[in-house]
Amino acid sequence: MKIAIGSDHGGFELKEHILNYLLSHGYNVDDFGTDSLESTDYPIFALNVSKSVANKTHDRGIVICGTGVGISIAANKVRGIRCALVSDCFSAKATRQHNDTNVLALGGRVIGKGLAEEIVDIWINTEFEGGRHNRRIDLITDIEKLEKS
């Protein structure tokens, strides 16, 4: 699985931590920045990570800002992206099983590193359940087509 990861300055420290965590566990991860604590704009990183997932260069994306809110909103503007802001393990599992999310958003100023590792592990390793959830994903895609045509 190829993973793209990116953050703004508010998510920088957690992004570096999760990047190193995933690399040390053998995952194939590409870092889309930012590369320091200098103030920057989260939509840039949401767009670059999300485009790479939407065009299938990467299988999944992880985006991080201070709260995770802004960067998740921006990621969900990219066609084909289903991004969930997650700060608990139950939602990490459910959003893969039910929503087939392809981008995970985290809040670098909200959750600690240990919880973030657990969330990422669960989110990466949980499969989509399909079945009735396919119909709901298709309805989301219909909205996307209507709104973007």
Can you tell me which of 52, 67, 101, 102 binds ligand RB5, judged by CB under 6 A? 67
Is 102 an interacting residue with respect to ligand RB5 (CB under 6 A)? no
Give the integer Cα–Cα distance in Å for 16 and 33: 9
Residue sitting closest to ligand RB5 (CB):
70
Tell me the two tokens of residue 75.
């990621």
Tell me the two tokens of residue 100.
């087939």
Can you tell me which of 44, 54, 69, 89 binds ligand RB5, judged by CB under 6 A? 69
Cβ atoms within 10 A of the Cβ of 124, count?
A: 18
Reduced DSSP (H G I as helix, E B as strand, rest coil) percent helix, strand, coil of the chain, to 5: 50, 15, 35
Tell me the two tokens of residue 143.
């909205």
Task: Pick the piece of the chain touching ligand RB5 (CB under 6 A) from 47-55, 61-69, 77-85, 93-101.
Answer: 61-69
Q: According to CB under 6 A, which residues from 24 to 43 bind ligand RB5?
A: 42
Is 70 an interacting residue with respect to ligand RB5 (CB under 6 A)? yes
**Which residues of the shown chain bind ligand RB5 in the complex (CB under 6 A)?**
8, 10, 42, 65-67, 69-70
